[in-house]
Amino acid sequence: MKKTHLLLVVLLATLCSSCYSYKIYPKQYRKLENKQPKRSAYIENDTLKKELKILAYSELFEIVSDSTTADLKIKLYPLEKSLVCGQPLTASMLTIGQLPVYLKDQYTYRFDEKENGKVTERKLELKIAQRVWFWDMFTFDKNFEKKSGKAVLGEYQTVVK
């Protein structure tokens, strides 16, 4: 009997942890491509791996390892996340995951562009929602860094215009 309960708990935990995907807002950002020429950028603090992956996925810059050949230097800051209420998860649990629920967390992606002695601070508000739905267990749309990169590209092009 205890093994059955343990197996059920493990199965439910696995199902709950794999039934999600990420969506970017506004929808125009989802298929956005970078049409501008990429400038080469040297990352000063490449220890922030998650933030570095997001910048690489944004395809805004060509990241180089030599600071002397770079057009500009970039200093990354940790990704800031403000959580939203998880109350919609109750509805999803009551319907056994058949009702999709969106958790619209707020993310702030910050970095400094240093070019010719001039420092430009970039602070981008990313609108990324995590969708929790039973059928998302079968999707492969779970790469947060890739989705964040698209959102960074969209926000950057909006701000820099």
CATH 3.30.160 fits domain 20-160: yes
By the 8 A CB rule, do 60 and 38 touch?
yes
C-alpha span between 93 and 101 (Å, rounded): 10
C-alpha span between 129 and 101 (Å, rounded): 10
- Overall size of the chain counted in residues: 161
By the 8 A CB rule, do 43 and 72 touch?
no
User: pLDDT of 17-71, one tens digit each?
Assistant: 668 889 999 999 989 898 889 999 999 998 999 999 999 999 999 999 998 999 9
pTM for the full predicted model: 0.85
Cross-strand partners of 75 = 112
Domain boundaries, the chain: 20-160
